Amino acid sequence: MKNIKFLLLIITAAFAASCEDVVDVDLNTAPPRLVVDASINWVKGTDGTTQSIKLTTTTGYYEEEIPVASGATVQVTNSTGTIFNFTEETGTGIYTCTNFEPVIGETYTLNITWQEQQYTATETLYAVPDITDIVQENDAGFFGEDIEVRIKWMDNGAEDNFYMVRFDTEVLPFPDYDVLDDEFFQGNEMFNFIWNEDFEAGQNVGIKFYGISEKHFNYMNILISISEGGSGGGPFQTPPVTVRGNVINTTNEDNYPLGYFRLSEVVETNYTIQ
């Protein structure tokens, strides 16, 4: 019996030791692509004149820092030909404009010149309704024991609308996004919510509510599905294809960028859990 126990101890120790081995996998790294984070957000109650666009590049899987794309020329032009120049904060990849003119329904074109490549995208600035109510439920979740925070708004029945909601909480390391359309709610009250088993009284929930285009709605739907494992997630599942936004490279279409050019009116508010 003692011999059996000793043998089991050796096997267990050997297995534990093997689990500590570090396996370095050589991964093929593709040439870097430009990543465009061009979200023009006109927060209700502000003049919307200060806007920023961030340019970075893709990098290797094991790299801890994301390279910035410095030295670009970044402009946004409206339908009347007015040009808004975005100037880089040196070495940051963040390009800022302080005289932007947001107009609901206006169409804008983004133009980027970087490393002798030309990139462009066109999008419209969409309105968003006011949030009419924020309610808290204390019986949410699968077992009715969790806290839920819900926002409500009235849809504009005269047009097709698409919305994006972002929740920032203390219990999640990243923002929680969702997108909705009014296909079955034309002109009626709509809602969106977040719940979590770790919500507690006194915690803050940051809420951002955007009006978006149908194209951006479709783009975000794919990203959210992938992030939540919507592609299947099985051990032999084919990796999802690269999700391409609305920015194109007019110099070399094969060297396409990642990211999106979006313009939205936004409602920003906070809710303290009771």
One pLDDT digit (tens) per residue for the chain, 274 residues: 444 343 334 334 444 445 555 555 555 567 899 999 999 999 999 999 999 999 999 988 777 889 999 999 999 999 999 999 999 999 999 999 999 999 999 999 999 999 999 999 999 999 999 999 999 999 998 888 899 999 999 999 999 999 999 999 999 999 999 999 999 999 999 999 999 999 999 999 999 999 999 999 999 999 998 887 654 444 444 445 678 999 999 999 999 999 999 999 999 999 999 9
C-beta atoms surrounding 215 within 10 Å: 15
DSSP H or E segment with residue 69: none
Q: Residue 234: what pLDDT?
A: 46
Nearest Cα to 167, choosing from 184, 147, 187, 143? 147
Cα 91 → chain centroid: 24
Report all structural domains of the chain as residue ranges with CATH numbers, in order of start: 34-127+243-265 (2.60.40)
Furthest CA-CA distance within the chain: 89
Mapped onto helix, strand or coil, the DSSP state of residue 203 is coil
Distances (CA, A) of 182 to 43, 105, 211: 22, 18, 12
Q: Residue 6: what pLDDT?
A: 37
Q: Residue 7: what pLDDT?
A: 37
Q: Residue 49: what pLDDT?
A: 98
Q: Residue 42: what pLDDT?
A: 98
